[in-house]
């Protein structure tokens, strides 16, 4: 819905394409699943699919309904269900629509094999638990699955795992070694790497990689900026100043009065709050840009508004444009910096963008089509 309230999110499809190409540049031998789960990390599943439809090797998501919808919309690339099927109906649907699915436990393997139509081939990603202990076959359960699968015909199998610390100091070595042990003598394609592994652990690239957050222009690493990684921001959250307050030393701002002016200050009130998806835990000092200048938030974020310091931006009055994150007319504020200030990650900020925020496509950025 278009609204006159000034908050807007703008999504740049060309930046998604640029970032996908960055993933491919880092893993030139591999094919890449564009991970569009969670409504493309809050960017809009269809916007991401449209941006990448001419180039993505495949699309990865969670729900069977969305996978089928992509097929029905004419997507011809492989489509992967990252948590696998949830019902017998899903099994029939993936067979009918040539959708690839993860299989991560014996129960799910039984569900798939017990409901697969006899006349249709199946493409399965067998997920191994190599140490993350979320989803995946353990070594103890793998032998039986391997025997069962060897007895099936018409199954195209890929071996996969997921790294818990590809972005951190422990890295991937232990999990990669465990993957090698578990798959010894097993000739099948492999798919291991998320964004962090694509960027930092080339030994994991294998046959397919699974870039997610990097497509949306945020960094998977706490210490390295998206810009340094050659990624372009995709989502920009913008609004405007709707109120101005002049503070005397000792005056407080917002609920709980958590911020106290220690000098005369000028405060701008921005039409953006936690009901728009801005993190309530962002403390005073979180970066924000107004009229092309970077400044800081002050006081608690409320449902519909937050405040920022305009003391050094005297020409910013009512109506002045504000960039909450992304690359906007009011300035550039990496979502990663806002996330770090709020004790979270850009993934969560993007996914939390609220339904009430109108979204438009930002076509100002262009990437040459090949
Ligand atoms: C979400 C997800 C990814 C993408 O991870 P990023 O850190 O966003 O690159 C890759 N693989 C699996 C199994 C996932 O669930």
Local structure of residue 343 (DSSP, 8 states):
T
Q: At residue 370, does pLDDT exceed 50?
A: no
* Tens digits of residue pLDDT in 258-285: 999 999 999 999 999 999 999 999 999 9
Residue range 228-250: mean pLDDT, rounded:
98
Quick check: is 6 in a domain? Answer: no
Quick check: is 161 in a domain? Answer: yes
Quick check: is 223 in a domain? Answer: no
Sign of CA dihedral 269, 253, 250, 283: negative
Quick check: is 341 in a domain? Answer: yes
Distance CA 83, CA 219 (A): 24
pLDDT band at 369 (very low <50, low <70, confident <90, very high): very low
Distance CA 167, CA 170 (A): 8
Q: At residue 367, does pLDDT exceed 80?
A: no
Residues 27 and 173 in one domain: yes
Domain count, the chain: 2
Which one of the listed residues 20, 24, 37, 127 is annotated catalytic? 37
Range of the domain at 103: 13-216
Contacts of 105 (CB under 8 A, 6+ apart): 135, 136, 137, 141
Spacing, Cα 2 to ligand 1 middle (Å):
32
Q: Which of 188, 216, 244 is the last residue of a domain?
A: 216
Q: What percent of the chain has pLDDT over 70?
A: 98
Probe target for ligand 1 pocket from 20, 22, 26, 35, with the most ligand atoms within 8 Å of CB: 35
Rg (CA), the chain: 23
Local structure of residue 25 (DSSP, 8 states):
H
Q: At residue 89, does pLDDT exceed 80?
A: yes
What is the domain-level CATH number for residue 240? 2.40.37.10
Verify whether ligand 1 is closer than 6 Å to residue 213 (CB atom). Answer: yes
Residues 314 and 188 in one domain: no
Q: What is the pLDDT of residue 178?
A: 98
Distance CA 135, CA 81 (A): 13
Residues 35 and 149 in one domain: yes
Q: Which of 160, 189, 216 is the last residue of a domain?
A: 216
With beta carbons less than 8 A apart as the criterion, state whether 142 and 119 touch.
no
Q: At residue 185, does pLDDT exceed 60?
A: yes
What is the domain-level CATH number for residue 82? 3.20.20.10
DSSP line for 62-97: S-HHHHHHHHHTT--S-EEETT---SHHHHHHHHHT
Spacing, Cα 297 to ligand 1 middle (Å):
31
Distance CA 365, CA 226 (A): 17
Residues 157 and 239 in one domain: no
| Helix (DSSP H) and strand (DSSP E) numbers for the chain | 11, 19
Is 37 assigned a catalytic role? yes
Q: What percent of the chain has pLDDT over 90?
A: 97
Residues 129 and 197 in one domain: yes
Q: What is the pLDDT of residue 2?
A: 83
Sign of CA dihedral 212, 215, 218, 224: positive
Residues 199 and 241 in one domain: no
Give the residue from 281, 277, 247 showing the smallest Cα distance to 261. 247
Nearest-atom index, ligand 1, CA of 194: 9
Verify whether ligand 1 is closer than 6 Å to residue 193 (CB atom). Answer: no
Q: What is the pTM of this model?
A: 0.96
Verify whether ligand 1 is closer than 6 Å to residue 194 (CB atom). Answer: yes
With beta carbons less than 8 A apart as the criterion, state whether 73 and 92 touch.
no
Distance CA 218, CA 195 (A): 10
Contacts of 234 (CB under 8 A, 6+ apart): 11, 12, 15, 16, 19, 43, 215, 216, 217, 326
Residues 121 and 263 in one domain: no
* Tens digits of residue pLDDT in 332-348: 999 999 999 999 999 99
Q: What is the mean pLDDT of the chain?
A: 97
Distance CA 338, CA 344 (A): 9
Residue range 214-227: mean pLDDT, rounded:
98
Q: Which of 187, 216, 245 is the last residue of a domain?
A: 216
Distance CA 329, CA 236 (A): 10
* Tens digits of residue pLDDT in 122-141: 999 999 999 999 999 999 99
pLDDT band at 306 (very low <50, low <70, confident <90, very high): very high
pLDDT band at 152 (very low <50, low <70, confident <90, very high): very high
pLDDT band at 366 (very low <50, low <70, confident <90, very high): low
Verify whether ligand 1 is closer than 6 Å to residue 195 (CB atom). Answer: yes
* Tens digits of residue pLDDT in 103-125: 999 999 999 999 999 999 999 99
């Amino acid at each position: 819905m278009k609204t006159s309230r000034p908050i807007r999110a703008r999504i740049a499809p060309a930046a998604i394409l640029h970032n996908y190409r960055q993933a491919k540049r880092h893993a030139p031998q591999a094919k890449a699943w564009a991970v569009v789960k969670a409504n493309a990390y809050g960017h809009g599943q269809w916007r991401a699919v449209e941006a990448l439809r001419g180039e993505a090797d495949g699309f990865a998501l969670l729900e069977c309904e969305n996978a089928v919808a992509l097929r029905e919309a004419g997507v011809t690339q492989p489509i992967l269900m990252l948590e696998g099927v949830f019902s017998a109906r899903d099994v029939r649907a993936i067979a009918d629509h040539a959708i690839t699915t993860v299989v991560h436990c014996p129960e799910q393997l039984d569900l798939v094999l017990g409901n697969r139509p006899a006349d249709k081939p199946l493409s399965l990603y067998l997920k191994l638990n190599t140490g993350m202990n979320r989803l995946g076959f353990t070594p103890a359960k793998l032998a039986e699955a391997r025997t069962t699968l060897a007895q099936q015909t018409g199954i195209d199998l890929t071996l996969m795992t997921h790294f818990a610390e590809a972005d951190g100091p422990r890295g991937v070595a232990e999990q990669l070694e465990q993957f090698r042990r578990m798959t010894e003598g097993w000739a099948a394609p492999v798919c291991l790497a998320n964004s962090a592994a694509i960027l930092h652990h080339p030994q994991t690239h294998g046959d397919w990689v699974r870039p997610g957050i990097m497509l949306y222009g945020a960094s998977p690493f706490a210490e390295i900026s998206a810009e340094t990684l050659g990624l372009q921001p995709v989502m920009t959250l913008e609004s405007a100043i709707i109120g101005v307050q002049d503070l005397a030393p000792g005056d407080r701002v917002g609920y709980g009065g958590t911020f106290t002016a220690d000098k005369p200050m000028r405060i701008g009130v921005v039409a953006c709050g936690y009901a728009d998806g801005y993190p309530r835990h962002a403390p005073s000092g979180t970066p924000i840009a107004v009229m092309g200048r970077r400044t800081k938030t002050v006081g608690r974020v409320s449902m519909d508004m937050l405040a920022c310091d305009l003391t050094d931006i005297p020409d910013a009055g009512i109506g002045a444009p504000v960039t909450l994150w992304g690359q906007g007319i009011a300035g550039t504020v990496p979502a990663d910096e806002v996330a770090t200030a709020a004790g979270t990650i850009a993934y969560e900020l993007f996914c939390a963008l609220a339904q009430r925020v109108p979204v438009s496509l930002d076509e100002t950025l262009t990437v040459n089509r090949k």
